[in-house]
Amino acid sequence: MSKKRLLPVVVLNETAWAEPLAEALLAGGLDQIEITLRTDAALDGIRAVAKKFPQMRLGAGTVLDAEIIPVLKDIGVTFLVSPGVNPKVVDAAHEAGLKIYPGITSPSEIELARSLGCESVKFFPAEPLGGVKMLKALVAPYGHTGLKFVPTGGISPETCPDYAALPEVEAVGGSWFVKAGLMKEGKWDEITELTSEGLKIVS
């Protein structure tokens, strides 16, 4: 994830959006995606992307239950993202050989994630929690450990550069360039353009 440093956080309302979305992201220079498990279309969308675009580094977000993880691995998911630190989910991810980014909001949750063997965590929801200022405060006691952070939640093109400037940030997660409205209206060229611009922001 650190090679491109930009992670599209996708809420997929229609399975039919999955392939053109992946194609638009790749055209913009981005070969990784997180499809959140918040909709009925998510799993079929993940399957479609995995089948047609094997070069795409494919992640599943909003992973709440350990039982779904073997299914996700079988359909081509290579990394997992969760909103919080659930030991059962983290253990199942490690057992499946998948990297997981559990969500954290505090030092105590960082400690828990580290105790479970996590090398990276998701700072979520980033902007409501205090943005870059809060992330810097969290990074301070842990930067020397090599722990990496992926901030997501309310980040915009305007705030993204401040997150990307932190060396402890592995990637910045955002949805401004993959909004449901853009997909619904079939604005794939606009998604490609916004993706390309986003990559310039984090580089």
Active site residues per annotation = 34, 122
**What's the chain's Rg over C-alpha atoms?**
16
Structure tokens at 138: 């969290």
Structure tokens at 151: 């901030």
Residue with tokens 């063997």: 117
Peptide bond into 125 cis (omega under 30): yes
Which phi-psi region, left, alpha or beta, contains residue 11 (left: φ > 0; alpha: ψ -120 to 50)? beta
Residue 142 Cα distances to 43, 102, 158, angstroms = 35, 16, 26
